[in-house]
Structure 1
């Protein structure tokens, strides 16, 4: 029996941003370390979040990764994954979005985050810190957000990971603003 992939991975673990294309995960980590090393005495926020958009014949998921120096800029990139069908279930979309964010977050566990913390450690008494978030594209207001029924389940999943804090709308910038911006255009299903 032939197994089929749930996702048609578009560039699998390849990332892009406004100035660079086809970055590997190692490239992403190196760019983030370079950004931190420019000002290691500052606080930093590592944010990962996924949003999706249903297009004709497929659903496009975009996961954003942002390293932010509050008040002093950020470096960001995104990854695209295409599901070759139109999703209609809000819970299924939110579950897949959260899973894709968690997948990327797992790549940062261990070595990548440790390397970031090593850069910041000598400056901890000067204000250096690193907070890590998974931003969930869901809100808690039941009147406004169809996703409110599933927020607690997704937050619990993220917090069970340990290192990452979960954020929801309106604080989930990586998902609801950055990743959202890159979901609007239909994806090419041709690899």
Structure 2
């Protein structure tokens, strides 16, 4: 699908119940295989408690990316690329869907899910501040494990 088609699916999903609580979540995960590294970016629109629509974008790099910082940074770059396609005009189109229903509890947020964790046992903990800062520079709420399920669960499922 083109991004335009993805955007149309998202708007259509939101228009079915415009008084919902919507979370647009973007996250990327990767898996190193024998001769390549597979990156999957998940784009998920959730109406909390009432359903979800999701799709993925797959990218294969024909080499083993074994350095963790390089791979995490590239995952974030791919997520940032998708986030940047949600221009102010497109964000405003999505906000306009829920705006008439704000006083009835409707909401809309955008989150960037980053496949890193801050726990002592997590190898990616040293990159947390850097990656959160990058994502927030796009005006998006950054989420890390265990709250980054689009990257750590949804996208991860398709990297195998």
Q: TM-score range with shorter-chain normalisation? A: over 0.9
1:61 pairs, out of 11, 16, 39, with 39
1:165 is displaced (CA, Å) by 0.6
Q: Higher helix fraction: Structure 1 or Structure 2?
A: 2
Determine the structure 1 residue equivalent to 2:143: 167
1:153 pairs, out of 130, 133, 139, with 130
Question: What 5-or-longer segments of structure 2 have no aligned partner?
Answer: none
Cα pair 1:60 1:83 within 8 Å, conserved: yes
1:84 is displaced (CA, Å) by 1.0
Q: Higher strand fraction: Structure 1 or Structure 2?
A: 2
3-state SS of paired residue (1:183): coil
1:127 is displaced (CA, Å) by 1.1
1:181 paired to 2:157: yes
Tell me, in whole angstroms, the C-alpha distance in 2 between the residues paired with 1:54 and 1:105. Answer: 24
3-state SS of paired residue (1:61): strand
Determine the structure 1 residue equivalent to 2:91: 113
Q: TM-score by structure 2 length?
A: 0.97
Cα pair 1:135 1:166 within 8 Å, conserved: yes
3-state SS of paired residue (2:81): helix
Q: TM-score by structure 1 length?
A: 0.82
1:96 is displaced (CA, Å) by 0.2
3-state SS of paired residue (1:146): coil
Question: In terms of Rg, which structure is larger?
Answer: 1
The runs of 4+ residues in structure 1 deviating greater than 6 Å are: none
Q: In the comparison of the two structures, how many residue pairs are matched?
A: 160
Question: What 5-or-longer segments of structure 1 have no aligned partner?
Answer: 1-22, 185-191
